[in-house]
Amino acid sequence: MSTKHAISFVLIISFLLINGLSILYLTEQTAAAGREIYVDDSFSYPRDGTAEHPYLTITEAINLANEGDTIYVFGGTYNESLTINKRISLIGGIDDGPSVISRGAEMKYLVDITADFVTLENFVIKDPGRFITSQYGALVHVSSNNVVLQKNNISKCDLWGIYLDSSDDNTISGNLINNTKGVFVSSSNNNVFSSNNISNSSDAGINLRSSKRNILYQNHFKTSTFGLYARDCSNTNITQNTFTKNDFHGMYVTGDRTDIIQANNFTNNSVSGITLDSYNCTIADNIFNRGQIGLSLQKTGCEVRNNSFQNISSTGISAISGSKNNIIYLNHFIKNNLNAREQGGNHWDNGTKGNYWDNYNYVDRNLDGIGDHPFAI
């Protein structure tokens, strides 16, 4: 074979190999993307899961789905409880109004997610008949990982709206959770809760237990018993949330360590904005407005800086007898009944800068922005 023909032969073989691999890759990608399956509660026969002939129930679609499939659900009322045990996506409300999941029979969970990498989006999930009766029953129960719950309306249940049960790396975003016990998070790590509106919870908007490295960002907690309750957690990041008109505490944190509580807004929570019975936390850049107590400090080693306390009916910061070695500086105290109460052993400056007190009556002779006489607490 001549050199020219040999080169041509090699080029042809290379071309065929490259194209064969490309076709194989595209085939694998298509398979990985999965099928589209449709459900409509008002359709009769024939049913094959296509948009033209959708299945009648979500359960039927789940049973016939493969890993990676997406199930689209038309508007309607689906009287069924779901077990999602495959890596699939369920998307509701694609046409004809909301997709409502509700079942008029006794159960523990209305939606039970046991598979990893599940998405549940844009459903109305409710139990108006109060058929969920188990102590740890929930409208949505998750015992797997990497689940996305987003844009759902989860409401009307005497027990938990969402229950994360030893469940990690989930995203809970953009949900409306109303008139439930709240969201229960037990032994669950690395979850993100963002842009949820949680109200009228009989327990806490979010109840965190024995969990690590969870992020709460831009959520709204209002008119619940507690906005947030956290016990025995660590490295929780609580940023840019609002806590409004909760019956007891906007946030009650006990036994936690190294939490960051930053840039939140606490308004008119009855007992306190934050009660902090925890260690080595950072409380920074928050606004506390109205309510009985802004911040109640009960343990040690926390940094409290650059917060605003205003219009508090009792005390801006109350540091009780068990609190010590907390560093409190660059905070603003304005129009409170009592700006601060010190009953422990805390530091009300960082060594160079203290706090702004609206009732400070001494002068700053050298104009360095620091009063020449200590403020008595």
Domain residue extents for the chain: 1-33, 203-377
pLDDT of residue 359: 78
Amino acid, res. 29:
Q
Q: Tell me how far apart the alpha carbons of residues 153 and 99 are, in angstroms, rounded to a whole number.
A: 10
Task: State whether residue 371 is helix, strand or coil.
Answer: coil
At which residue do the structure tokens 């959708």 appear?
54
pLDDT of residue 3: 44
CA nearest to 244, candidates 206, 273, 283, 275: 273
pLDDT of residue 366: 54
For 368, other C-beta atoms within 10 Å of its C-beta total 8
User: pTM score, two decimals?
Assistant: 0.89
Q: Supply 254's token pair.
A: 């006990």
Give the bridge partners for 149, in sequence order.
120, 172
Low-confidence residues of the chain: pLDDT under 70: 1-32, 360-376
Q: Is the dihedral of CA 363, 368, 373, 377 positive or negative?
A: positive
pLDDT of residue 7: 41
pLDDT of residue 104: 86
Q: Tell me how far apart the alpha carbons of residues 247 and 224 are, in angstroms, rounded to a whole number.
A: 6
Q: Supply 336's token pair.
A: 């409170």
Q: What are phi and psi of 15, to 5 degrees?
A: -60, -45
For 36-73, b/e burial (b = at least 16 CB within 10 A) is ebbbbbebeeebebeeeebbbbbebbbeebeeebbbbb
Q: Tell me how far apart the alpha carbons of residues 63 and 82 are, in angstroms, rounded to a whole number.
A: 10
CA nearest to 110, candidates 123, 95, 91: 123
pLDDT tens, 247-261? 999 999 999 999 999
Task: State whether residue 23 is helix, strand or coil.
Answer: helix
Quick one: CA torsion of 277, 278, 279, 284, rounded to 10 degrees? -90
At which residue do the structure tokens 């990676």 appear?
68
- For residue 300, give the DSSP letter: B
Contact between 347 and 369 under an 8 Å Cβ cutoff? The reply is no
Contact between 149 and 138 under an 8 Å Cβ cutoff? The reply is no
Residues sharing a CB contact under 8 Å with residue 30, sequence separation 6 or more, in sequence order? none
